[in-house]
Chains A and B, each alone.
Chain A
Amino acid sequence: GEDVEQSLFLSVREGDSSVINCTYTDSSSTYLYWYKQEPGAGLQLLTYIFSNMDMKQDQRLTVLLNKKDKHLSLRIADTQTGDSAIYFCAESSGTYKYIFGTGTRLKVLA
């Protein structure tokens, strides 16, 4: 099957780092993405990683990919209250169709 699993909820204190995890099943995925969804809004692309990479850093965001374990993570450094949202990972295998993860609700405590 093509299930992409995420933990449901994460709570961190402002200024700490957040790590959101994602486990996917399709080994043919070429791109893996992280999207952010704030309440009542659409999804915003945060970053992506190509399947032949292990790590990608983009300002406060670090994406780690372990292809052997089919594990993807998003680390947010110096987490702020504005980072509170639902985070979805997604995989694409070169078709138009993405498989979205179940979503992780991040709550940042002031």
Chain B
Amino acid sequence: DTEVTQTPKHLVMGMTNKKSLKCEQHMGHRAMYWYKQKAKKPPELMFVYSYEKLSINESVPSRFSPECPNSSLLNLHLHALQPEDSALYLCASSQRDREGDGYTFGSGTRLTVV
């Protein structure tokens, strides 16, 4: 298995809703990432988990809450989002000690906040 699987592919939520994005990989990668990508822009790093511990939080608002239940799963819990949070949310993973391998990205969740 050489994929990162993200669900759902599309999500529409209201500003008072609570929802979660899910990401799964079975490549044995020990680093997992959440990125946010607005249209026609490069991905922006949000969070990094290394060995299931949060190692980087790029000053992301608390309405985004990451969780890493185990080495294969990464969640992003969403609450009280704003319309400007609408974007493509990408999950990625990497084998930290083989840097040249780069990231493996999922296909993303297209989030629309109404």
Contacts and interface: CB of A to CB of B under 8 A. Distances in A.
Chain A interface SS verdict (over half): strand
A94 B33 CA distance: 16
B45 A97 contact: yes
Contacts of A45: 101-104
A82 interface: no
Interface of A: 30-31, 33, 35, 40-45, 48, 50, 88, 92, 94, 96-98, 100-103
A52 B107 CA distance: 32
B99 A103 contact: no
A26 to B, nearest CB: 15
B81 interface: no
A101 B42 contact: yes
A101 B40 CA distance: 12
B31 interface: yes
A33 B48 CA distance: 19
Interface string B34-55: 0000001111010010100001
A88 B31 CA distance: 21
